Amino acid sequence: MPALQPVRGTQDLLPAEQSRHRRVVETARSIAERYGYQEIATPIFEFTEVFSRPIGETTDIVVKEMYTFRDRSGDEITLRPEYTAGICRAIISNGLTQSLPLKFFASGPMFRHERPQKGRFRQFHQIDVELIGVPQPQADVEVIELGAEVLRELGVLDRTVLELNTLGDTASRRAYRDALIDYFSRHAASLSEDSRRRLEVNPLRILDSKDEGDRQISAGVPSFDQYLNDDSRRFFSQVRAGLDHLGIGYQLSPRLVRGLDYYCHTAFEFVTEHLGAQGTVLGGGRYDGLMSIMGGPDTPGVGWAAGIERLAMLIGDPPPAHRPIAVVPVGEKGEAAAPRIARNLRRAGFHVDLGYAGNVSRRMKRANKIHARIAVLIGEDELARAVATVRDLDGGSQSEVPLMQLAERLAPYR
């Protein structure tokens, strides 16, 4: 029988890759905590309506990409394609709208049936930040700043560019939507099949089309700026002023859109040229209409999500792992005593390797193989004198250390 393989679009995170993933998540979690964001976890699968209601029955995500099935009870279930809808559902389900503002951080796997390519998988992972209940532009500035700080801490901020746009308020979007329908209707015969469908339900998405013919047609669309009302202009001006005050550079990107009606005002992405076609590493925006669509009270929100796989590719090799201490028992009495010595060192914060079998020579070979920094040899003679032989595996020197002082003497290698 042929060996079993992973499902297309999935991957095994072996230790080196998992180390990079963990660094991304732990860095983001630490930065988010400094800004007062609390960690939340929502189910990996939800009732399909949690995603189909806000995302829309006719969007590419729902029509082409969601993993949807009926469980044994006949309920229609979907593996989550993104975090925001599930977090908003959790806020409504748990009555948290009485405790605004809410600041949440989350991380975990997402699922979309896309064509796998570099940096894009069918099971992928995201970090996510949501700020719920703050209508002022300061909230937009804060979540963008938080994202920039995560990228800075990971050492990749200078390899990205922040692209920024405004989607305006509901009135501005409605006026621009009408203008787009009028413009694209005159070119409908030349649009791609996907864009002709979007023209009926979501014309803003045509601006985001990757089809070259669509792009050429979109080059002549009227500018959104012509349709922004004073409130929308004022909001965007305050966002830009806040970023300028913090020294966060950006470039305006009029083609950066969010097609769904509940998005408004700020849209942003941190993009890079170092990952090929998959250039967006972190993106988000304001979604003041989402909570009401999901059955909750009208509540503003703004947030972002970032792909862990793409960030892990950007940060490159993980930092050197902790070099362990190898506990090497000698003889039967050493074998009996070694587990307790190893446990005490682990409780003191050391990374300890204790082999399961083999003579001293084989165990020392293992210590070298795992790049141990120190070997602690313990045998009948050492036990009789309540000491251990500590060997420096880099320099070759060794000395005897009282067992009661072992953790203290090994402190430089913790």
Residue ranges per structural domain of the chain: 15-169+229-315, 325-413
Low-confidence residues in the chain, pLDDT < 50: 57-58
Place domain 15-169+229-315 in its CATH homologous superfamily.
Bira Bifunctional Protein; Domain 2 (3.30.930.10)
DSSP 120-131: B-SEEEEEEEEE
- How is residue 64 written in tokens? 């082409």
- How is residue 356 written in tokens? 């399961």
Q: Compute CA distances 30 → 27, 147, 318, whole Å.
A: 5, 12, 18
Does residue 204 contact residue 259 with C-beta atoms inside 8 Å?
yes
Does residue 139 contact residue 199 with C-beta atoms inside 8 Å?
no
pLDDT score of 177: 86
- How is residue 134 written in tokens? 């703050």
- Residue closest to 231 by CA, chosen among 139, 168, 188: 168
69: β partners: 77
pLDDT score of 86: 95
Pairing of strands 325-330, 301-307: unpaired
Q: Which are the contacts of 305, defined by CB distance < 8 A and separation ≥ 6?
A: 82, 83, 84, 126, 127, 128, 129, 282, 283, 284
Reported pTM = 0.87
Residue 78: alpha-carbon gap to chain centroid: 20
Cα of first residue to Cα of last residue in the chain, in angstroms, is 47
pLDDT score of 88: 96
pLDDT score of 119: 67
Sign of the C-alpha dihedral computed for residues 120, 121, 124 and 128 taken in this order = positive
Q: CA 58 to CA 52: how far, in whole Å?
A: 9
What's 325-413's CATH class? alpha beta
- Condensed to tens digits (0 to 9), the pLDDT of residues 218-264 reads 888 888 888 899 999 999 999 999 999 999 999 999 888 876 778 89
Cα three-residue angle 156-162-167, rounded to 5 degrees: 150
Give me the helix-helix angle, 308-315 and 137-154, nearest 10°: 40
Q: Compute CA distances 24 → 128, 248, 280, whole Å.
A: 12, 21, 16
Q: Identify the three-state secondary structure at position 159.
A: helix
Q: Compute CA distances 410 → 193, 325, 339, 351, 374, whole Å.
A: 68, 9, 17, 11, 9
Tell me the residue length of the chain.
414
